[in-house]
Structure 1
Amino acid sequence: MLVTPRFRRMIQETAGGLPRQFWWLWVSTLVNRLGAFVVTFLALYLTSTRGYSASYAGLVAALFGLGSTASAIVAGVLTDRIGRRPTLLAAQLGTALFTAVLGFTDGRVAIAVVAFLVGFCNNATRPAISAIIADIVPAADRVRAYSLNFWAINLGFGLSSAVAGLIATHGYLTLFLLDALSTVLCAVVIFVRIPETKPDAPVEKADEPTIGLGTVFRDSRFMAVVGLTLLLALVIQQSSTTLAVDMGRQGVTSVEYGLVIGLNGLLIVLLQIPLTRWVENRSRSAMLAAAALLIGWGFGMTALAGSSAWFYALTVTIWTIGEIFYTPTLMGLIAELSPTHARGRYQGVYSLSWSLASFLGPAAGGVLLERAGGGVLWGACAVCGMVAAAGYTLLGKRTGAAAGDGPLVAVGVTAPAAEAEKAPADA
C-alpha cells in the first residue's frame, strides 16, 4: 500500500498527457505484435520443418529484407505525398494477405518471392507510424511516446513468442494465419480511430528549396546516424535468423527458443518504463554509445552459450537492456532531425538502415555461421557494437553535445522549436 501512490505517480509521469490518437495507435501496434509470429520463427520453420539448409533460410530472410529495403523509400515518399493513413492501411492489408499466402506456399522460388512481398509490405508501415507519432506528439514528449510504442511492440512480441513456440509444435500454418488476422485487426483500428495527421502543405517561397530525397541524403549529420544505425541493426537482425539456427544446431528445442527469445519482450515490458525515466536528461550520445556496447557484447557472448538455454537467456538479457536504451533514444533523435513537411522521407531513409540490415544481416550471418562457425559470427557482432559506440561518441563531440548546442545533448531535451522543425543546413 505504501508503494501504490509512488507507482501511480510513475505511471502518470510516464503515460500521462499524450494525445488520444497516440493511444489508439498504441493499441493497434499491440494487437499487431500479439500475432507477429512469422518473422521470428521463419528461419526455424524453413530449417527444422521444411528441411532447407541454413544458407537457404538466410537467403529467404535476406529477400524479406530486400523487400523491406525496396519499400523504405517508396513508403517514405508516399507518407508525405498521399498521407500517413492510406499508406499505413495499404501496407497492413498487403502484409496480412501475403503472410497468409506464405503459409500455403511450397517450393524454393515461390517461398522466396512471397517472403520478398511480405517484407515489402511489412516495412512500408514504419515511416507512416513514426511520422504519425511525430505529427501528434509535442517534441518534448516524443522520446516518451516512442518508448511507450516500443514497449507495446515488445509486450506483444514477448507474449506471442512464448505462445508461438507451443503452437508451432502442432503445425506452423496456424502461426501464419494468426499473424495475418492480427494485422487485419490492426488495420481496422487504424481505419476507425486514426485520422489523417499529415500537416498542411507549406506555402513555398522562392528562396526556400524544396525538400526532396536529395536533401535527406546530403544531410551529413542525419546520414551519419543512419550509418551507425545500420551497423547495430546488422547485429540485432541475428536475433530472428542465425540465433535460431545456431540454437537449433546446439540442440535447443523450438519451445526453449520461443521462451528464450520471448525474454527479450518480457524484459522490455518490465524495464522500459523505469529505465526510460532513468535516462531522461542524460547525455544522448553517451546513452547511445552504452547501448551499442551492450548490444554488441550481448550478442558476442552467445559464442560461449553452448547448449545452455540459461546462458542464452543471459545473453538476451544483456542485449535487451541495450535495446531499451537505444531504440526510443534514437527515435527521438530522428524525429528532431526531420523537418515537419519531410518527415516521411526522413523516416523512410532512416527505415532504410533497418531494411538493409534485414537484407544483408541474415545473408552475411548465415554465411559466417555455416562457413566460419558461431565463434566468428558472434565475435563480429561484438566488434560492430564497439565500432558503433565509438561512432556515437565521436558524433556527439562533433555536433557540440558537450557544449549543449546539438540534438545529441540529452534524452528528452530538444532544440528550440524553430530550429527543430526547419530543414537541416546543407552539409
Structure 2
Amino acid sequence: MATTDTLILNTPRQSTPRAAVWVLIGSSLLIKAAGFAWDFLGYFVSDSLGHGTTVAGAALTCFGIGWCAGLTMAGALTDRFGKRAALTWLMALSSLACFALAVAESMPALLVVSFFLGMTMEIHRPAVSATINDAIDSEAGRTRAQSWLYWASNFGIAICAALGGYLAQHSGYRLLFVINGLACLIFAAIAHRALAPRNLTPCEGASAATYREVFADPALRWIALVAVCGMTCAWGLVSVLPLLMTADNLPPTAYGLVMIANTVTVLALTPPLTRLLVGAGETPKYPIVPTLAVGCGVLGLGVSGAALQHTTIGYALAAGLMVPGEIALSVALAGYISAYAPRHATGRYQAVLSGANAVASLPPLGVALALNAGGRPLVAALLLGTAVVAIVSCRRLHRALPVAAPEISLSSVAPAGNPARSKS
C-alpha cells in the first residue's frame, strides 16, 4: 500500500487539513513577498560589493545549481519524514542562508552562500504540494489549490520587486536579507503549528519511494522534459529580455515596466483562466496534455516574438501575451501532480517538476552566445524551437499516461510502469 501521512487533530492548535492548505498558501505568498535574497543577489554582488558582473554571474550560476540540489533534497525529506518536519527544518535552514548572505563579502564566501541560498529558497514547494494532495479529495480541487499557490507566488513576487527596490535604496541590501531570513523563520513556525506530526508505521517507512523508482515512470520523464522546455521559454522574461533591452539602450526602468505588465496580467488572468481550464466539477474540464501543449506553444510564440522587439511597448505586449501560456503550463503541471503522483512520493514528483524551473533558469549564457553569433533571429528561432520540442514531447507524454489512474503504489509497479496517485 502507498504511504499516506494524514493531518490529525492532536491538539487545538493544529488546523483542519483544508485550513492548513490555505495557511501554507498564505505563507508561500509571504516567502515570495520577502524573497529579497533571490531577487537582489546579482545587484548586491555586482553593485553593492563591487565584485562586477562576472562574479555576479558566477553567484547566480551557483544559485541555480543549488536550486536543483535543494529541490531533490526537499522532495526526499518530505516523503520520508513528513510535511511538518520537512517544512520546519528546511525553512529554518533557509533563514540561515539569508542571514549568511547579509554578512558575506569575499568572492569564495559569496559563491558558497549563493549555492546554499539557491538550495533553500524553493524547498517549501514539495511539502506544500503534498499537503494539498492529502487534504483535498477531488482532482479538480487539488488542481485549483495548486493554481492558487501559483497566483499567490506571483502576487508575492510583485510585492517583493516594489518593496525591495524601495528598501534597498533607503536602507541597503543587508536589511533585505535579514527580513528574508525572518520570513523563513515565520514560515517554519507556522508550519510547525499548523501541521500535525507524521504517524509513520514500520511498514510505511519501508515503502518510501526512491528517485530511481520515481524516474522509472516514463510519464514523469516526458512531462519533466516538457516542463524544462516550457519553463525555458517562460524564463525568457528574466534571461532574454534584459539582454535584448540592454542592446536597445533601454534603461532598467523600462525592464521594470515590462515585468509589471507581465505580473499584473498574471494576477488578473489566473483566476478566470483557471476556472476556464479546470472548471467547477470534481475532475478537470480539459485534459492535461492538450493544455500543456497549448501553454508551451503560447509561451514559445510570445518569447520568440519578444526577441524581435525594440521598444518598451513591444516588449510589454509580448510579456503580457505570454501570460495565458504561463497559466496553462502551471495548471497542467498541477493537474499531473494531482492525478498521477502517488501519496508516498508526492514530494519527489513535485521536486522533479519544480526542478524543471531550476534547470530552465540556467541558459542565460547560451542566450548571450546566440545573440552574439546570430543576432535576434537566432535567439527567436532557438526559443521557438524549444517550444516545438515541448509540443512534440506532449505526444509521447500522452502515450505514457495511463488511461485511468489506478490505485497502486510505486512498489507494485514494474520498472517501466506508470505509477498513479493512490487514494486513501
TM category (shorter chain) comes to: 0.7 to 0.9
Q: Which runs of 5+ in 1 are unaligned?
A: 1-16, 408-414
- SS of alignment partner, residue 133 of structure 1: helix
Q: Would you say the 8 A contact 1:236–1:295 is kept in 2?
A: yes
**Closer/same/farther in 2, CA of residues 183 and 209 from structure 1, 3 Å limit:** closer
Q: Tell me the TM-score normalised to structure 1 length.
A: 0.81
Q: Name the structure 2 match of 1:315.
A: 318
**Closer/same/farther in 2, CA of residues 363 and 262 from structure 1, 3 Å limit:** same
Q: Would you say the 8 A contact 1:133–1:145 is kept in 2?
A: yes
Whole-Å separation in 1 of the counterparts to 2:124 and 2:243:
28
How many residues are treated as equivalent by the alignment?
393
Counterparts of 1:13-412 in structure 2 under 5 Å? 19-47=18-46, 54=53, 56-140=55-139, 141-170=141-170, 171-196=172-197, 198=198, 200-201=200-201, 203=203, 211-280=209-278, 281-306=285-310, 308-358=311-361, 360-369=362-371, 373=375, 375-396=377-398, 398-399=399-400, 406=403
Moved more, 379-388 or 209-218: 209-218
Q: Which runs of 5+ in 2 are unaligned?
A: 1-15, 279-284, 417-424
Residue identity matched to 1:426: P
Whole-Å separation in 2 of the counterparts to 1:366 and 1:276:
35
**Closer/same/farther in 2, CA of residues 227 and 282 from structure 1, 3 Å limit:** same
Displacement of 1:191 = 2.4
Moved more, 146-155 or 243-252: 243-252
Whole-Å separation in 2 of the counterparts to 1:42 and 1:227:
28
Whole-Å separation in 2 of the counterparts to 1:106 and 1:56:
12
Whole-Å separation in 2 of the counterparts to 1:105 and 1:73:
26
Whole-Å separation in 1 of the counterparts to 2:109 and 2:195:
35
**Closer/same/farther in 2, CA of residues 134 and 59 from structure 1, 3 Å limit:** same
- SS of alignment partner, residue 235 of structure 2: helix
**Closer/same/farther in 2, CA of residues 240 and 329 from structure 1, 3 Å limit:** same
Displacement of 1:45 = 4.8
Q: Would you say the 8 A contact 1:292–1:322 is kept in 2?
A: yes
Whole-Å separation in 1 of the counterparts to 2:95 and 2:403:
41
Residue identity matched to 1:395: L
**Closer/same/farther in 2, CA of residues 263 and 316 from structure 1, 3 Å limit:** same
Structure 1 residue aligned with 2:415, among 408, 417, 426? 426
Q: Would you say the 8 A contact 1:67–1:118 is kept in 2?
A: yes
**Closer/same/farther in 2, CA of residues 102 and 420 from structure 1, 3 Å limit:** same
Whole-Å separation in 2 of the counterparts to 1:183 and 1:391:
37
**Closer/same/farther in 2, CA of residues 244 and 121 from structure 1, 3 Å limit:** same
- SS of alignment partner, residue 19 of structure 1: helix
Q: Name the structure 2 match of 1:14.
A: none
Q: Would you say the 8 A contact 1:263–1:316 is kept in 2?
A: yes
- SS of alignment partner, residue 215 of structure 2: helix
**Closer/same/farther in 2, CA of residues 96 and 377 from structure 1, 3 Å limit:** farther
Whole-Å separation in 1 of the counterparts to 2:328 and 2:394:
13
Residue identity matched to 1:189: I
Q: Would you say the 8 A contact 2:209–2:411 is kept in 1?
A: no
Displacement of 1:238 = 3.8
Moved more, 257-266 or 224-233: 257-266
**Closer/same/farther in 2, CA of residues 178 and 199 from structure 1, 3 Å limit:** same
Displacement of 1:250 = 3.6
- SS of alignment partner, residue 138 of structure 1: coil
**Closer/same/farther in 2, CA of residues 424 and 25 from structure 1, 3 Å limit:** farther
- SS of alignment partner, residue 304 of structure 1: coil
Residue identity matched to 2:345: A
Displacement of 1:189 = 2.1
Q: Name the structure 2 match of 1:6.
A: none
- SS of alignment partner, residue 32 of structure 1: helix
Displacement of 1:378 = 4.2
Whole-Å separation in 2 of the counterparts to 1:27 and 1:79:
20
Q: Would you say the 8 A contact 2:21–2:128 is kept in 1?
A: no
Whole-Å separation in 1 of the counterparts to 2:17 and 2:260:
28
- SS of alignment partner, residue 196 of structure 2: coil
Q: Tell me the TM-score normalised to structure 2 length.
A: 0.82
Whole-Å separation in 2 of the counterparts to 1:148 and 1:48:
36
Q: Would you say the 8 A contact 2:126–2:347 is kept in 1?
A: yes
Q: Would you say the 8 A contact 1:55–1:366 is kept in 2?
A: no
Displacement of 1:39 = 2.4
Displacement of 1:188 = 2.7
**Closer/same/farther in 2, CA of residues 389 and 304 from structure 1, 3 Å limit:** same
**Closer/same/farther in 2, CA of residues 18 and 91 from structure 1, 3 Å limit:** closer
- SS of alignment partner, residue 275 of structure 2: helix
Q: Would you say the 8 A contact 1:298–1:318 is kept in 2?
A: yes
- SS of alignment partner, residue 273 of structure 2: helix
